[in-house]
Chain A
């Protein structure tokens, strides 16, 4: 019997090819999107869970408001971890990562490769995190100076084998002994390093509670409530931090420090929250945002819901046209239960076909999706999860529900009534149908507005005036390779070449690079009220010119003024915090000096100029106070160039380099690329969002098409009568469209506030953001309207053009 049902079901699908394909394609697209998003979201939620102790690992974060600067740090001071372990038995272990130095050059054969997945770490890293070794003993691997632990990938890259233990790797011209090879860190980790150097090699004034530069993780004993544990930080501050703070700042107590409007707080960030909830500075890798998980989950559910509703609508719509078939079957003696089974089999078969197509499609587009989203997802990862169960259950459920209307409704009628075509299918003017159409358009309009806002915001980030010019700036990474004279010689040699406009020597760049915060004061006395904490960048005379920054008051550093070594240029944000209307010539004082160990001696700087605020962090953050000081910092040599043939230029520059610094590694990057790196993750998410929005809209259109088809079929007779009575084609199209347009209008009215609210909260994360314009809404409503009109008109014109004789004969 089942065989017969299946045979008839397939035959029916085949006979109504267009209807069946719309229905199957719609549902398949919906399920496919759902699979992809489910993979994406599952992956986002899986971060750091591979660590056996994941539930008990916490990062020590600091919130510092000091001297006009509000810092939300992901780093802590170097003695913090050890102090916590010593004083509090709840702390089972601690470990630190020091990643402030950025990328390093590693020698492979005769070439140098710029590796950025590199950091210094304590050997306890492997006690806290689950990073299994393929070779060597990680427990002790980093205890000695000049040791390095590398990943499987790094081992293969540099040694061609994973058996690299005992071999030597040259990092920044210095030999390190490989003491262990670990498995690659899983992609769903909040940090990714291929090279871990011994903490003993960090050149740093250890023991300083006031400088925050180390990512510090603690492993709490199971059962410890971290919220309760956080209260201990008050003791730590009093016992260890206050005595050090008192040395360089004239405060009598921490309360005095706080009452001046300052803040120093430590918090624990659960490891499992880092990837989705942490937007601090500096993160070890670009984190995602829980908002995107919410947005994508909502989009996935919406898409699936729309697809299912469409499937049911279309199946139901078609069943009405099969009323006659039901009547005949009943007259011929078919039992009701057989009819029910027949209809249920048909819709379930269709749903299951959709599932297969969806899985195939997901498998096919997954590489593309991975490419866009920069993930390495595989279908396998959801094969045994609850998502898989849902995937199988869902089509069956949809099939059963979609089939149940014709199954139970039509089969229950008296055959003679059905045969006479007198049944009212109860769907024609129902509020249910209206609600479904409103829901579809509501979803589409919200998604269109969301897409427009995301697109505009990302575009704004790419094109906004950053306060410096990032185009055509060539950065030569010269860290450690050149001494002062050599870097000057190199800069001057390159400047002689055509196509080079200017050059500057400084490692402080307004893209990801090394940073230092120094403390200044307005008066010659350093106390809690006077303090101004800001970044200090050491630059040369040509820096502002090369970076295309703008002096708004005073002047740039100049060789004509012999006193500029004690001059300082501030950004507008710093001037604002100081409260100076006319800052030029005013003095500020710094207690930190390069290389000095006497924190109480203050150095005086005179403000010579004010530079227009420029963005040196992500646009998600505000511009904080910053100062430029004249000096020699040979980290990078940057050139403003003016040429189309950049590759050719790089070759010539490299040739110069080889003359001045023979045997020294040459590596370079372009500033706009470095800048793009900051926003690449954001751009990817934007792209994914746009793609899914478009798919959702497509599915909604398919559904609308189905509904319009159904409605028009229902009104065939009416259309015929009206035509006979003299209605023109435009008359009829207006009549058929009017109802739908009303529904689109209602959907827009509901969608606008929802979209406004949702997008406003998304934009809230950006310190620099677009405003939501009224025309976004108009555009979305217009698009929805055009889609609705196009769909309705397509069917309506066809129906209206038909010969009325045909439609009256269907009676």
Chain B
């Protein structure tokens, strides 16, 4: 599904040049669950942004389903993104002014799904993450675990082929964290590819494979399954 080759990303300010990704190469196959680990500043988030088509690399190749997307423009990237990729963030990133239902509905609005169909699909996914009873509440009225379940629901409502999770349990206690990890595992078993950035060795054990990074490069790859 994903094949990156010699990917480079360099951040420049007036005086300092920081190499975030240094000729990074790896591959993720359909249906894999991959964890990316490494210390702060090793380039994990940059990698995730590029994989999520939120940012573009300075050099190298990025094949998404066999298509070269490294130099896609903003519009093409957005189009590919909204149909294929779901995001789960550490800080949930729910919109405070919208209800649970409306938050989950957003991706469907942007992909042009009709209202009746949207309702059906949002309700189905809310049911699945067991938050249906909170559908008319606002994010601030929910606990952290509940908010992350809503975020997961929002990530999967569009049936994406790939889910990118940035420390999904970072703001949760262990029981809520386990619940979210279980949800991701279930999704993976249903065929969704998952790439997860994490600091937690515990969480990484849910994955099939761990990519360890340091200074913008892959150090080791552990196959767990």
Contact = CB atoms under 8 A, between A and B. Distances in A.
Nearest to A728: B78
A725 B154 contact: yes
Given A718-B97, A811-B93, A723 B106 contact: no
B101 interface: no
A713 to B, nearest CB: 15
A803 B111 contact: no
A810 to B, nearest CB: 11
Given A726-B110, A727-B110, A728-B78, A721 B55 contact: no
Nearest to B155: A725
Interface in A144-193: none
A724 interface: yes
B183 to A, nearest CB: 19
Contact of B106 (A717, A725, A811): A725
Nearest to A801: B74
A725 B54 contact: no
Interface string A770-811: 000000000000000000000000000000010111001001
A587 interface: no
Contacts of B154: 725
A722 B96 CA distance: 12
Contacts of A803: 54-55
A624 B106 CA distance: 73
Interface residues of B, number: 23
Q: Which of B52, B91, B106, B154 has the most CB of A within 10 A?
A: B106
Contacts of B52: 724
Interface string A724-751: 1111100100000000000000000000
A725 B82 contact: yes
B54 A804 contact: yes
B55 A811 contact: no
Interface in B88-123: 89, 91, 93-97, 106-107, 110-111
Contact of A731 (B55, B96, B110): B110
Contacts of A723: 78
B49 A805 contact: yes
Contact of B87 (A717, A724, A727, A811): A724
B59 to A, nearest CB: 18
Given A803-B54, A805-B49, A805-B54, A726 B107 contact: yes
B199 interface: no
Given A725-B82, A728-B78, A805 B93 contact: no
Contacts of A718: 95-97
B81 A717 contact: no
A801 B74 CA distance: 9
B52 to A, nearest CB: 8
A718 B75 CA distance: 19
Contacts of B91: 811
Contacts of A805: 49, 54-55
Contacts of B75: 728
Interface string A225-241: 00000000000000000
Interface in B55-69: 55
A717 B110 contact: no
A658 B55 CA distance: 90
Nearest to A722: B106
A721 to B, nearest CB: 5
Interface string A17-38: 0000000000000000000000
Interface of B: 49, 52, 54-55, 74-75, 78, 81-83, 87, 89, 91, 93-97, 106-107, 110-111, 154
Interface of A: 429, 717-718, 720-728, 731, 801, 803-805, 808, 811
Given A731-B110, A805-B54, A808-B89, 8 more contacts: A718-B95, A724-B54, A725-B87, A726-B82, A726-B110, A726-B111, A727-B106, A728-B75
26 contacts: A717-B93, A718-B95, A718-B96, A721-B93, A721-B95, A722-B106, A724-B81, A724-B87, A724-B93, A725-B87, A725-B106, A725-B107, A725-B154, A726-B78, A726-B81, A726-B83, A726-B110, A727-B106, A727-B110, A728-B78, A728-B110, A803-B54, A803-B55, A805-B49, A805-B54, A811-B93
